[in-house]
A and B are shown apart, each in its own frame.
Chain A
């Protein structure tokens, strides 16, 4: 497999997470204080970079078969979680992720919290809000970067995809100075769920000893089949007229 599908998958997955992290950072910076917000963001980025630097090369030392079995299983479970949530959102059983309302929720909470200095940080609330937001959203990025990069023995390409996504979202966020509510986040999450599930299934089965018909080319069939099944379920589980099904669960800002 070439590096392009790897870079694109990681790029889209990371862009979604970066958009959510940006919402939290903007809410913290614009409502509270930028200096502490940037300190929190920088601290989280350092932690994430250390995780990639330590785990990435370590995990590639594992034998490829064992790596594919474990990582494939984790990726399939993780991807199914994304896909399940995306289908529930598409069918209206779960509230769509809305960056504008997520931003307003964070701003309201940030305005109520008292200002306190701690450990040399001017506004501890802004620091922790930014730190937690970037770290939690970033952990999903790290998970995807490490699993995809290690399995393809191309951690560099996965890092490039992730870094490009973070850069594009950051630059856009600075330019518009508002949450990126127009990004088709729910559709992107649906697509990422399909990719994670497909790659997880492919690698997991390979790790279990399977020889896919057509080898890597099987992915070219598996991805569309997973997409078709997911779309089929979206159609099948859509609320029937008069059933009264509505989005019945609101969500936290930090969620896949």
Chain B
């Protein structure tokens, strides 16, 4: 169990890293993009870049405060 936990912690740190909020924003933005494209017929190519830039700025602001 302990080994399983440490493997999970390693992969979490490997992919998500220091700020989990960035990962949440990226996943939420992708879900919203898919919703807009498939349910509303909007080609929302701009949404993910905007969210990525916002997430990066937000994360940096928190880290430098």
Binding site for B on A (CB under 8 A): 69, 72-74, 76-78, 80-81, 83-85, 87-88, 91, 93, 139-140, 143, 197, 201, 204-205, 207-213, 218, 222, 225-226, 229-230, 233, 236-237, 245, 256
Contact = CB atoms under 8 A, between A and B. Distances in A.
A115 to B, nearest CB: 27
Nearest to A140: B14
Contacts of B48: 76, 201, 204-205, 208, 210
B-side interface size class: 20 to 34
Given A84-B59, A210-B33, A245-B64, 16 more contacts: A74-B15, A80-B56, A84-B60, A87-B60, A88-B64, A139-B14, A204-B30, A204-B48, A205-B45, A205-B47, A208-B30, A208-B33, A209-B37, A210-B48, A211-B43, A225-B49
27 contacts: A72-B30, A76-B52, A77-B17, A77-B22, A78-B15, A80-B52, A81-B22, A84-B19, A88-B60, A143-B14, A197-B56, A201-B48, A201-B49, A201-B52, A205-B45, A205-B48, A205-B49, A207-B30, A208-B31, A208-B37, A209-B33, A210-B33, A210-B48, A226-B52, A236-B57, A237-B60, A256-B17
Contacts of A204: 26, 30, 48
